[in-house]
Amino acid sequence: MPVSAEAAALHPGFADPVFDAQRLFRAVLDAMSHPGRIVQLSDLPDAPLPLNRTAAAVCLTLADFDTPLWIDDQSAAAEAARRHLRFHCGCSLPEAHGEAVFAVATDPTTLPPLASFAQGSDEYPDRSATIVLQVDRLSNQAGVTLSGPGIEHKTALDAGPLPTDFWEQVRANGTLFPRGVDLVFAAADRLAALPRSIRVEV
């Protein structure tokens, strides 16, 4: 297939690949170094369903041919989203989520157990997955209480929809430290992060 015809059917990537990626990275870094902090985003490029713009932008910022990326929706309806990621990031899209460096859950309620993603080893805990969860709800108004590195005292975080035992899984993930996965919550034009180092009280 001619590349140009395929490209014409694609959603655009970053308007400015250098500066947009830098800006988005700093937003993710801000979120990851201040777990639970809700970071506002602006001027994100459109993304094909079922990806939301925030999750897509995080992928454009961090994923490339060195990072296999797993997306939960393997259906034909999500082909445009997969093509978007393949084209703009150049990443491979494995079907098995255990192989992924990045994972995108467009519907986190069906997320496989956190413990089934790459956890890293005790020697190399960095060889672990970062999971981007698309959520509708994201606020500091209620929810669980977070504490640990990056948080001065305590902070509240509410996100959803999520699997019913999600916070229990996050707690279990924390007990594996230094192994474990890191989470990014991607809502419309804002995001928050939850690294493995954080204690969660339900």
Q: Is 110 in the site for another protein (CB under 8 A)?
A: no
Only segment of 4-12, 13-21, 109-117, 166-174 that touches another protein (CB under 8 A): 13-21
The two tokens of residue 190 are 């804002």
Strand partners, 13: none
Angstrom distance (rounded) from CA 97 to CA 35? 24
**By CB under 8 A, residue 152 contacts another protein:** yes
Selected range binding another protein among 43-51, 62-70, 73-81, 131-139, rule: CB under 8 A: 62-70
**Of the candidates 7, 12, 15, 22, which one interacts with another protein according to CB under 8 A?**
22
- Residue 26 interacting with another protein (CB under 8 A): yes
What would the DSSP string read from start to end of 104-153?
EESSGGGPPPGGGS-B--SS-TTSB-EEEEE-SEEEEEEEEEEESTT-SS
List the alpha helices (DSSP H) in 34-98.
Answer: 53-62, 79-89
Contact 153, 36 (CB under 8 A): no
Is residue 95 close enough to count as binding another protein by CB under 8 A? Answer: no
Q: Which of 1, 9, 95, 123 binds another protein (CB under 8 A)?
A: 123
Chain residues in the site for another protein (CB under 8 A): 3, 17-19, 21-23, 25-26, 28-29, 32-34, 61-64, 66-67, 101, 121-126, 128, 130, 148-152, 177-178, 182, 195-197
